[in-house]
């Protein structure tokens, strides 16, 4: 069995962003040489997410609105976590909803997606460097 590991690094200028990382994951798969197996893609920070969905701007705007309704950033004083000097309690909650990771099957050297599926990095507390782990195992 082969094993391959790669890190992607991000530093978004704004507080929140959705970045399509499908191409980077596909490149890592090509570099790995794995034809049959699994790829794990996970955010290595507790205020960021990796998820699978459609790459459609209206959907991303809907996510933004929905997440802000579930866990609004303001007022930061409404969160106990922010009493530690942080202002990112909402980002922790948004990550919890959107998820830490995805696992995708690899079939015949390709990501085995359903229609319209793409892999995204979700940033909820940007402005500093964060990483995503790609781990590929298989034959």
- CATH fold of 2-57+99-138 reads Jelly Rolls (2.60.120)
Quick check: helix, strand or coil at residue 62?
A: helix
Give the position of tokens 């085995």: 112
Check residue 69 and give its pLDDT: 98
Q: What is the pLDDT of residue 116?
A: 97
- Residue pLDDT tens, the chain, 139 long: 999 999 999 999 999 999 999 999 999 999 999 999 999 999 999 999 999 999 999 999 999 999 999 999 999 999 999 999 999 999 999 999 999 999 999 999 999 999 999 999 999 999 999 999 999 999 9
Distance CA 28, CA 32 (A): 6
User: 65 with 18: CB under 8 angstroms?
Assistant: no
Q: Rounded CA gap, 6 and 133, in Å?
A: 6
How does DSSP assign 45-57, residue by residue? STTEEEEEE---H
Domain boundaries, the chain: 2-57+99-138
Q: Are strands 101-107 and 110-111 parallel, antiparallel or unpaired?
A: antiparallel
Task: Determine the pLDDT at residue 72.
Answer: 97
pLDDT score, position 134: 98
Pairing mode of beta strands 130-138, 2-10? antiparallel
Q: Is 102 helix (H, G, I), strand (E, B) or coil?
A: strand
Candidates 139, 72, 84; CA nearest to 107 is: 139
């Amino acid at each position: 069995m082969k094993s391959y590991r790669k890190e992607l690094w991000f530093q978004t200028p704004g507080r929140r962003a959705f970045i399509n990382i499908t191409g980077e994951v596909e490149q890592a798969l090509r570099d790995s040489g794995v034809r049959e197996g699994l790829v794990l893609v996970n955010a290595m920070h507790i205020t960021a997410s990796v998820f699978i969905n459609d790459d459609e701007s209206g959907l991303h705007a809907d996510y933004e609105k929905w997440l802000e309704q579930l866990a609004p950033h303001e007022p930061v004083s409404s969160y106990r976590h922010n009493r530690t000097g942080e202002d990112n309690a909402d980002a922790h909650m948004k990550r919890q909803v959107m998820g830490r990771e995805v696992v995708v099957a690899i079939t015949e050297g390709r990501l085995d997606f359903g229609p319209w599926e793409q892999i995204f990095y979700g940033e909820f507390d940007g402005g500093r460097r964060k990483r995503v782990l790609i781990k590929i195992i298989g034959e």
